[in-house]
Every structure is written in C-alpha cells, then in structure tokens.
Amino acid sequence: MKKAILFRSGAYGDALVITPAVRRLKELGYYTILYGSKRSKEIFENNPYLDEYILHKTDLQGEELENFWKELKDMCKGEDRFINFSESIECNAALHPINPNYNYTKKERFELCNRNYYDVTEEWAGLEGCQKLPELYFTDGEVLETKKHLKSDHINILWQLSGSGRQKVYPWSDYVIGELLKNFENIHIITTGDERCQLLESVEDKQITNLSGRIPARIAMCLTQFVDLVISPDTGMLHASGCYETPKIGLLGHTTRTNITKYFINDYSLEAQAACSPCFRLIYDHEIQCPRDFITHAAWCMSEGISPERLYGRIVSCIGEKARARRPVSIPA
C-alpha cells in the first residue's frame, strides 16, 4: 500500500489546518502517517483518516532536524509521498523575522500574505479537492463530559482569553463581559485558555464558569460545537470552532478573515482597525516587534483596533432574540 508520511510540529491551530489534507490523502488511497507534537496528537485523536501517529522529538533543531526530514523522505519509495508542512504557513501567509519580506511595506505584505491558510496548505501539499474546514473527532465520553459545563436555560458563550502571544490577548474582555451580564439575564460565559489565562479571568459567579487550565484542551475544543457563540483571538480555539456551524467571532489583529475564517460557517469575525494591522507577522519579542498600548499593555491592534463597543454590538447581534434583556438595551454602532 502506498503511504504518505507527513511532518507538522507546532500548536493546536497548526494541526487543525492540515486535517483536510490528511483526509484527502486517505481518500486518495494512502496509508497516512503523521510525525508531530504532543498538541497535534490531541487534535488527531480518533481521526479516522490518520492511520498512524508518531510523536516527534521536539528537541531536534537546525542540521539535526534537516537530517531527520531527509530520513523521512528517504523512507518513501514509488508512489509514496513525504510532505513536510513545516513553514507551510510561516513562509507564505505569516512572515518570520528572518525573512526579508518581514520588512516589506504594509501594502506589499498584504498583497503577499492575504491568503487563506487552508488554501495555502492545499497548495503546499500539492493536493486538489481538499475540503476547507478543519475536523475534530470526540468520543461519547468526551461529549458527555463537555456537556456538564453548559447551562441549558442560558445562552452559552465560550470566551477564549488568549492565544500564544500578546497580539492574541483582548484586553477589554472583562469590560465587555461585564456589560453583557449587566444587560442580559440569561447569558452564561465560559472562559477557556491555559493556566496563565487564569490571571485574565473575571470573578466567578453564577453566570460565569472559569475553565482556563482546569479542563483538557480537547474538552474545551469540544465545547465549540455545543455553545451558542464562540469568541476567540486567532488561535487554535478559533480553528476548532471552524469545525462546526456554531456562530463565531474571531478577534483578528495581525491576520484577516481571508487568512483564518474565509470558509468557516456563521463567521462574524472582527478585523482590527489599527494603523499597524494586519501586519501578517509572527511575533516573538513583543517589546521590539509589536506596537503596544501603554494603558492596557496589550498589542495595539487588539487594544485600539477592536473597540469594546464594536465587539459588544457584534455579540448582541449574534445572540439576537434569544437574549432576555434586564432593561431596554441599545446596540452601539
């Protein structure tokens, strides 16, 4: 049987973006093998289109990593394929500081990088006919565990508090959540993120369930199919919501809807309206790479680019007639 050996290290979002390619390879008759990280392993649990998962040694760098890729390629004979997804997005739609195009003008970067990640991945793999939505597969037990966190008589809103960097933290979350709870009596906010996000969580009350660092990532991602609305920066949770028809609001600072949510169903994402955004840049050192708001200490695109009034209005328009107002509520323009 012909085999397809794939390599993709990285975080949850990186793995979700390649799920359509894995599915397509399986449809074409390949025995699919993926070398990846612990996080990508979580994404591919129970995936019927992946035959074998091998945990990659993440300490390999530089020449050692290059030699490892060569070994994988040498394992392929005849109709076999080796697809290395490393830098598939990083060098095509998100710019690394070591690349000269990182310092292109904003217009030049827009022309180069305003491309959908799922389209780019399909082209990188040399495949045609890939679906353009990510996929997740959960066990019945995981679904039962997930549903314990929902309130059946409320509008359940999953709020992902942060991604992997400052440009993926929305500093006005507390303010917007407070306004929602003040104005509507049947809102239930579920906050998610890693343990560090506990610093961003509101005081827990009967209308807030704080789950950051308290539940497995798969349970958090499973929630995206059962809640009424997902709010998330450009991170793995937003891609997880793309698996489902759940309404979603992506908070996009350095990226665009074209990049991330172009194909997602019921997408109501907001792009930052800031002079620096979208920059399409990978941010590793926020002190020197990213303009910062001196009041919130958040990235400028997230603090000034998406006003709390704008987000609040988008949320109210999404929850619509389901929301029970405590008093007459006006929606900001």
H/E segment holding residue 247:
none
3-state secondary structure of 1: coil
pLDDT tens across 1-14, in order? 899 999 998 889 99
> Which of 125, 160, 182 is the last residue before a domain boundary?
125
Say if residue 218 is in the same domain as residue 105.
Answer: no
pLDDT of residue 204: 67
CB neighbourhood size of 181 (10 A): 18
Say if residue 16 is in the same domain as residue 80.
Answer: yes
**Cα–Cα distance between 271 and 303 in angstroms, integer?**
12
pLDDT of residue 60: 67
Question: At CB < 8 A and 24+ separation, what contacts does 104-108 make?
Answer: 106/276, 106/279
Say if residue 118 is in the same domain as residue 151.
Answer: no
Tell me phi and psi for residue 231, to 5 degrees: -120, 125
Say if residue 79 is in the same domain as residue 147.
Answer: no
Residue 331 lies in a domain: no
Give the residue numbers spanning the domain of 262: 140-322
Q: What is the pTM of this model?
A: 0.93
At 45, which CATH number? 3.40.50
Q: What is the mean pLDDT for each group of 10 consecutive residues in the chain (333 residues)? A: 94 96 98 94 97 83 86 94 93 86 94 97 96 98 98 96 78 93 94 76 81 93 98 96 98 96 98 94 78 82 94 95 70 53
Tokens of 181: 């709870």
Number of domains in the chain: 2
Residue 327 lies in a domain: no
> Which of 125, 158, 189 is the last residue before a domain boundary?
125
pLDDT of residue 198: 63
At 201, which CATH number? 3.40.50.2000
Say if residue 94 is in the same domain as residue 61.
Answer: yes
Say if residue 178 is in the same domain as residue 254.
Answer: yes
Say if residue 185 is in the same domain as residue 81.
Answer: no
> Which of 99, 125, 151 is the last residue before a domain boundary?
125
Give the residue among 130, 134, 120 at the shortest CA–CA distance from 90.
120
Tokens of 164: 């992997």
Tokens of 231: 């709010």
Say if residue 97 is in the same domain as residue 151.
Answer: no
H/E segment holding residue 22:
helix 12-27
Say if residue 114 is in the same domain as residue 164.
Answer: no
Length of the chain: 333
Q: String of b and e for 52-83 (b: at least 16 CB within 10 Å)?
A: ebeebeeeeeeeebeeeeeebeeeeeeebbbb
- The answer to whether 7 touches 100, Cβ cutoff 8 Å, is no
Say if residue 202 is in the same domain as residue 105.
Answer: no
Nearest-10 crossing angle of helices 117-125, 12-27: 50
